């Protein structure tokens, strides 16, 4: 998922921040497979392509399954395979997409004990930006990020995006902590939303992200990368901005990597084209590579959009 704009409204007493942000799900996602384990199973099994990801209760997939059982009372356990494609510390909500996909799949596989609205509400207990996945794919989010209002997609879904992320990721708590409230934008988030929706096009002035300041202070190379993308991307990009707490820079309007990214110093960058996506009511998100496949996502397999 990407944040087309992200305003930080205030610092709260519980350590979180109230946001006002336009989130959009994108087609870059991890692959997940779910199988319900036979009756008598007493724990879940998680098989992940990335050995650095914890397999215990701190994993968002396991947290989502524990939450699902606690809320529904359904004592089902699952084997989950997770093939990671979305980089960590990227501001792309990779882990959040995994958690949302897990809630959706567990609910499907156990005969839908919960409604979409319940899954959305419950998901706020384990993370701030999981709930958005239970929208249609485009949502204006407030509170910690878990108060979700569906909006019509502000841009044509065919709009090409290019995601560019340096190898170093950024820690979300650290970025929020080093935000200087005095250096935030003063733009009214509802005007940013109206500006994007009415124009059907975005411009740099609309793509405000208050977390760019702490991210760029912590990682000056990220600011340089953004500036080069603006300068050397030429007129190809309508807007270039950071998503979430970074460190991914989103370029809107073209998905061709500018020539300078082939320089030696940028060889370790994650560079990927992407598209904005929505989901059909009742269905889940699909990968771009599966766009040509039959429309229905099988209950046992789900593409975890990010």
Nearest approach in angstroms of CB 275 to ligand C5P is 24
From the list 16-24, 32-40, 199-207, 252-260, the region that binds ligand C5P by CB under 6 A is 16-24
Strand spans (E) along 236-284: 239-242, 249-252, 270-274
Q: Which of 29, 127, 166, 246 binds ligand C5P (CB under 6 A)?
A: 127
Stretch that binds ligand C5P, among 39-47, 170-178, 208-216, 270-278 (CB under 6 A): 170-178
User: Of 10-18, 26-34, 70-78, 234-242, which part binds ligand C5P (CB under 6 A)?
Assistant: 10-18
With binding defined as CB under 6 A, does residue 244 bind ligand C5P? no
Which residue is listed with tokens 């766009």? 291
Of 121, 149, 126, 155, the C-alpha closest to 136 is 149
Residue 17 CB, nearest distance to ligand C5P (Å)?
4
Euclidean distance between CA atoms 27 and 186, whole angstroms: 31
Whole-angstrom Cα distance, residue 88 to residue 158? 26
Cα radius of gyration rounded to whole Å, the chain = 19
Which helix (DSSP H) or strand (DSSP E) does residue 98 occupy?
helix 94-109
CB of 237 to ligand C5P, least distance (A): 28
Among 71, 144, 184, 201, binds ligand C5P (CB under 6 A): 144
| Chain centre distance of CA 262 | 27
Q: Which is nearer to ligand C5P, 91 or 145 (CB)?
A: 145
Residue (of 248, 222, 205) closest to 87 by Cα position: 248
**Out of 2, 4, 19, 119, the residue judged to bind ligand C5P by CB under 6 A:** 19
- Residue numbers 256-285 binding ligand C5P by CB under 6 A: none
In the complex with ligand C5P, which residue's Cβ is closer, 16 or 77? 16
Question: Which residue is it, tokens 């724990």?
Answer: 43
CB within 8 Å of 143: residues ≥ 6 apart: 18, 19
Residue 33 contacts ligand C5P per CB under 6 A:
no
Per CB under 6 A, 35 contacts ligand C5P:
no
Choosing from 102, 110, 128, 135, the residue that interacts with ligand C5P (CB under 6 A) is 128
Residues in the chain: 306
Nearest distance from C-beta of residue 241 to ligand C5P, angstroms = 18
The span from the CA of 32 to the CA of 127, in Å, is: 19
* Tokens 């000056």, located at residue: 220
Per CB under 6 A, residues contacting ligand C5P are 15-17, 19, 127-129, 144-145, 172-173, 176
């Amino acid at each position: 998922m990407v944040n087309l704009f992200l305003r930080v409204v205030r610092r709260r007493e519980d350590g979180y921040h109230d946001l006002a942000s336009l989130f959009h799900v994108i087609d870059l996602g991890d692959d997940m497979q779910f199988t319900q384990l036979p009756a008598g199973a007493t724990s879940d099994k998680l098989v992940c392509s990335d050995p650095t990801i914890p397999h215990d209760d701190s994993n968002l997939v396991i947290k989502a399954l524990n939450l699902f059982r606690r809320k529904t009372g359904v004592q089902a356990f699952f084997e989950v395979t997770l093939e990671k494609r979305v980089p960590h510390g990227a501001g792309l909500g990779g882990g959040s997409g995994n958690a949302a996909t897990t809630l959706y799949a567990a609910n499907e596989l156990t005969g839908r004990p919960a409604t979409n609205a319940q899954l959305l509400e419950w998901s706020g207990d384990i993370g701030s930006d999981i709930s958005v996945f239970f929208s249609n794919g485009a949502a204006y989010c407030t509170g910690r990020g878990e108060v979700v209002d569906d909006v019509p997609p502000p841009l044509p879904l065919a709009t090409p995006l290019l995601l560019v992320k340096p190898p170093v990721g950024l820690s979300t708590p650290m970025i929020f902590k080093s935000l200087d409230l005095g250096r935030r934008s003063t733009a009214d988030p509802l005007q940013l939303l109206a500006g994007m929706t009415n124009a059907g096009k975005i411009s740099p002035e609309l793509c405000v992200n208050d977390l760019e300041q702490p991210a760029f202070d912590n990682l000056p190379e990220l600011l340089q990368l953004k500036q080069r993308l603006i300068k050397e991307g030429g007129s190809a990009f309508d807007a270039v901005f950071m998503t979430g707490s970074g460190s991914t820079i989103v370029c809107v309007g073209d998905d061709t990597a500018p020539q300078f990214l082939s320089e030696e110093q940028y060889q370790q960058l994650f560079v990927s084209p992407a598209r904005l996506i929505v989901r059909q009511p009742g269905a889940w998100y699909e990968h771009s590579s599966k766009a040509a496949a039959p429309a229905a996502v099988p209950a046992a397999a789900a593409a975890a959009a990010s």
